[in-house]
Homo-oligomer: A and B are copies of this chain.
Amino acid sequence: MSLNKQVKIILVETTNSGNIGSALRAMKTMNFSRLCLVKPKEFPSDAVETMAANAKDLIKNIEVVDSLDEALKNINFVVGTSSRMRKVPWPNETLQNASPNIIIEAKKKSKVAILFGREDRGLTNEELQRCNLHLHIPANIDYPVLNLSMAVQVVCYQLYVDEIINREPNKSEFWDVPTAESNHVKRLINHFIEVSEQLEVFNKGNPRQIGARIKRMFTRIGLDEMEVNFMRGFLAAVEKKLKDK
């Protein structure tokens, strides 16, 4: 299932055409490409091109329509973004809660649309009433006003991450040198403690358990083989100097 195939982003009556370009770029970074504009104030425009940066290739696919009805043709599941409380309360999920539900709909082969409103006053009540789900981006109560394209970026990010969360390894698995064997690390630690003793850097009685601290320091780091070898070479060089004395 490709989320991009099922999900369309709709910007309603955008005033600042730079925001259209920024939104398109934001979408592309998260692997979305289907953008629809309802009555944009100015489109096409140079600002769209400029702000789209390397998402320029997607401009030609932008769908421009005159009404929300037209934009929602063939759409099964409509999501509205909103931060304002409405007179008639409507279930308004946080983005993190809404995102898995949107993905489930997409997996059910629903065509999904996510609506973003005007820069100054968002979506109208009538537009929000077309939406199956309202979502809001959790934000500072005193200033929850994300720029339009920022909101697109955050929503696309959350969807992208939730979709791939089981696919992408949690941290880069790539490392150029194998992790050192545990026994090699143990020998390094012993070697380090020996040299420390020869150097007389331990305080009398090790009041703060310096031995345990050294073990912890060298163990928690997860040393690789080259690092262990380097440290062993370093300690051997120190020892040699001590003997030469």
Contact = CB atoms under 8 A, between A and B. Distances in A.
Interface in A137-158: 137-140, 143-147, 149-150, 153-154, 157
Contact of A85 (B53, B91, B174): B174
A153 B199 CA distance: 51
A29 B241 contact: no
Interface stretch (A40-48, A67-75, A165-173): A165-173
A65 interface: no
- Copies of this protein in the assembly total 2
A52 to B, nearest CB: 11
A32 to B, nearest CB: 9
Nearest to A150: B153
A104 interface: no
Contacts of A160: 138-140
A164 to B, nearest CB: 6
Interface in A171-192: 171-172, 174-176
Contacts of A29: 139-140, 143-146, 150
A53 to B, nearest CB: 7
Interface string A183-222: 0000000000000100111000000101001100100110
A15 to B, nearest CB: 14
Interface stretch (A5-13, A109-117, A123-131, A223-231): A223-231
Contacts of A30: 139-140
A237 interface: yes
Contacts of A26: 146-147, 150
A170 B98 CA distance: 10
Nearest to A25: B147
Nearest 10 pairs of A and B residues by beta carbon:
A199-B237, A221-B221, A31-B140, A92-B172, A150-B153, A201-B237, A29-B139, A93-B171, A29-B146, A201-B233
Interface of A: 22, 25-26, 28-31, 53-55, 85, 88-89, 91-97, 137-140, 143-147, 149-150, 153-154, 157, 160-161, 164-165, 168, 170-172, 174-176, 196, 199-201, 208, 210, 213-214, 217, 220-221, 223, 226-227, 230, 233-234, 237-238, 241-242, 244-245
